[in-house]
């Protein structure tokens, strides 16, 4: 199969650093990655993660970031339930609005 136009999600490699995950994905022949919005792969909050560093790590392995797996929606309870199910914790829960989006406005 020609994997040039197929991306793969980094979720299966969540226990690896971005650099190691990208190394594995590139070694499998992929050229594009769907980046999971979960540390250590990515955070949408600059105080938790530097997007430029993540992009540089992907490029070092000749990967293009095709999509961001941000999984918005589901509201606070829905998103929190999914993260708890997977053993994750919600980062910055005070910014999660009732409809599942992040906001600096506590009213949403």
pLDDT for the residue numbered 5: 74
pLDDT digits (tens, 9 = 90+) for 22-31: 999 999 999 9
Which token pair is 31?
């050229």
DSSP 44: S
* β-sheet with 64-69: strand ranges across: 7-9, 32-36, 64-69
β-bridge partners, 67: 34
Q: Apex CA 84: angle with CA 78 and CA 89, to 5°? A: 105
pLDDT for the residue numbered 64: 94
CA–CA separation, 10 vs 58, rounded Å?
A: 11
This prediction's pTM: 0.65
| Domain range annotation of the chain | 7-95
pLDDT digits (tens, 9 = 90+) for 12-54: 998 899 999 999 999 999 999 999 887 788 877 777 788 889 9
For all residues of the chain together, what is the average pLDDT? 77
Asked whether residue 95 carries a pLDDT value surpassing 50, the answer given is yes
Are the CB atoms for 61 and 69 separated by under 8 Å? no
β-bridge partners, 47: none
Which of 81 and 20 is assigned the larger pLDDT? 20
Are the CB atoms for 100 and 78 separated by under 8 Å? yes
């Amino acid at each position: 199969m020609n994997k040039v136009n197929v991306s793969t999600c980094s979720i299966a490699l969540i226990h690896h650093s971005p650099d190691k995950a990208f190394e594995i994905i590139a070694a499998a022949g992929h050229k594009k990655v769907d980046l999971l919005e979960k540390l250590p792969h990515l955070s949408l909050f600059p105080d938790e993660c530097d997007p430029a560093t993540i992009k540089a790590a992907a490029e070092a392995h000749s990967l293009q970031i095709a999509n961001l797996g941000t999984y918005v929606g589901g509201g606070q309870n829905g998103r929190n339930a999914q993260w708890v199910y997977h053993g994750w914790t919600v980062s910055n829960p005070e910014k999660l609005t009732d409809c599942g989006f992040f906001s600096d406005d506590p009213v949403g």
